[in-house]
Amino acid sequence: MKRSRPLLRSALVCALLAVSTLASASCSTDEQRTLVVLGPWTDGEEKPFEATLAKISKRTGTRYVYEGTRSLRETLVAQLRTDSPPDVAILNGQGELAEYAREGDAKPLPERLAGAAIAPWAPRITLLDENGEQRQHAYGVPVRVDLKSIVWSRPGEAAAKPRWCLGMASGATSGWPGTDWIEDLLLQLHGPQVYERWAVGEIAWNDPRVKDAWKAWRKLLVAGGPGAGAAAVSTPFDDLGDGGYGLLNRGDCTHEHQGSFIRRHYGDDVLPAATSDVVPGLPRGGPRVFEVSGDMAAVFTSSGAAWELMAQLIDRRTRNDWATAAKPAERPLFPDGGTGPKPVTAGTSAVLKLFAGADEICFDASDAMPSTLRGAFQRAVLEFLQTPEDDALLNGLLGQLEAERTLQAEAGAFALDQLCGRPRN
């Protein structure tokens, strides 16, 4: 019931000031124009976004309250169950957004907003209407993005045989750095069409092409020595303890497969390269294809002020305000391929160059999957890491994932048709 607290406080103030009709009317107006935004940023990461909301507030006259949580899904589900949803929520994945849209919790975008979003960052979601007919609508606008399919290293070690940094632990969603590996390897080995069909539930998990990606990862894990995979299960993906961050700062590994957000933990001595340029055995010289993730804003409590905020979130002024408020290594990347007007760090500049050179981009596959399948994928990665050389284990895990895919497909849980496209600004 967090959403009600600012309103309750406002109501108490109004009651105390009710001796004046004018004061009471003023409080009522303020109360009606307070919007709650739920998002994934905490621990200082939220401050630039809060500063940006303050700038938007000056333009719109609406007050915004930001609620940040690392347990975004759990928090939003709890708020929906108690009939106290936020006005706007910023979600990490298209699959979750599709689930909320199916339940009627997320509201479809007006065409003016859907058309303003930069392709292919706002794919349409296919759902059945009340007559059982398929209808497509966009439900979210992208507010920031991250480039994946990249490997980080220090220039002096970039050409050396990689010693891979591996960290899979991440609170309630441990295992996602491993799903990123599988997705990226499948994309690089078999291209965007196969990747997309697999992600939207049209290719079986025990298809040989999917197994190719697991086998390619196995080679890297086995090369890391006995127990390298198992140790990664309990290793945080970025936290070294004692105030240290960034696995490349441990001193025992040289290459890290991680999204562009990780640059916040490094200086100009750590730079990215395309996965296909670093991992042996991947095709080279063809079209540049990258996996990407995006933070999507969606409306859960429809109002004119909520739709006005959505329009503001994709406005160039907002992006510039956000970039200006953030630290140089933490400036968000935007769907237009930019990161605001100020100079950027060497790591950010290198990311932007890779982004600009992409021939095609594909949304994070697991982020697009139904939540139960995504969770099973993450758990399968953690189990695979215990004994990656065990082929019987791998076959069993892929069989389990295929059973879950079949179940979700029969239930109509795959609502996305297209994840890949040519980037444009």
pLDDT at 282 over 50: yes
Q: Let me know whether 93 and 195 are in one domain.
A: no
Q: Let me know whether 200 and 68 are in one domain.
A: no
Average pLDDT, the chain: 88
pLDDT at 158: 76
DSSP H or E segment with residue 290: strand 289-299
**Are the C-beta atoms of residues 393 and 383 closer than 8 Å to each other?**
yes
Residue 18 in any domain: the answer is yes
pLDDT at 194: 98
List b or e across 334-358, with b for residues whose CB sees 16 or more CB atoms inside 10 angstroms: bbbbbbbeeebbbbbebbbebbeeb
Q: Let me know whether 113 and 26 are in one domain.
A: yes
Q: Let me know whether 219 and 134 are in one domain.
A: no
User: CA-based diameter of the chain, in Å?
Assistant: 77
pLDDT at 32 over 70: no
317-341 pLDDT tens trace:
999 999 999 999 889 999 888 888 8
Residue 40 in any domain: the answer is yes
pLDDT at 396 over 60: yes
Residue 157 in any domain: the answer is yes
**The amino acid at 179:** T
pLDDT at 119 over 70: no
Residue 29 confidence class, pLDDT cut points 50, 70, 90: very low
283-311 pLDDT tens trace:
998 899 999 998 999 999 999 999 999 99
Residue 385 in any domain: the answer is yes
Q: Let me know whether 273 and 390 are in one domain.
A: yes
pLDDT at 128: 66
Beta bridge partners of 146: 293
Residue 354 in any domain: the answer is no
Q: How far apart are CA 274 and CA 253, in angstroms?
A: 18
Q: Let me know whether 308 and 202 are in one domain.
A: no
pLDDT at 25 over 80: no
Give me the domain span that covers residue 225: 146-291+359-421
Q: Let me know whether 256 and 283 are in one domain.
A: yes
Q: Let me know whether 405 and 279 are in one domain.
A: yes
Q: Rounded to the nearest 10 degrees, what angle do helices 316-325 and 47-60 cross at?
A: 140
Residue 22 confidence class, pLDDT cut points 50, 70, 90: very low
**Residue 387, domain CATH:** 3.40.190.10
Check residues 145 and 28 and name the one with the higher pLDDT: 145
Percentage with pLDDT > 70 across the chain: 89
Q: Rounded to the nearest 10 degrees, what angle do helices 176-199 and 208-223 cross at?
A: 160
pLDDT at 142: 87
Q: Let me know whether 104 and 44 are in one domain.
A: yes
Residue 12 confidence class, pLDDT cut points 50, 70, 90: very low
Q: Within 10 A of 219 (CB to CB), how many other CB atoms are there?
A: 14
pLDDT at 404 over 80: yes
Residue 425 confidence class, pLDDT cut points 50, 70, 90: low
Q: Let me know whether 137 and 228 are in one domain.
A: no
Residue 315 confidence class, pLDDT cut points 50, 70, 90: very high
213-271 pLDDT tens trace:
999 999 999 998 889 999 999 999 999 999 999 999 999 999 999 999 999 999 999 99
Q: Let me know whether 9 and 122 are in one domain.
A: yes
Q: Let me know whether 216 and 94 are in one domain.
A: no
Considering only CA atoms, which of 119, 116, 124, 130 is closest in space to residue 312?
A: 116
> pTM of the full predicted structure?
0.88
**The amino acid at 419:** L
44-76 pLDDT tens trace:
889 999 999 999 999 999 999 999 998 898 999
Task: Count up the domains in the chain and report the number.
Answer: 2
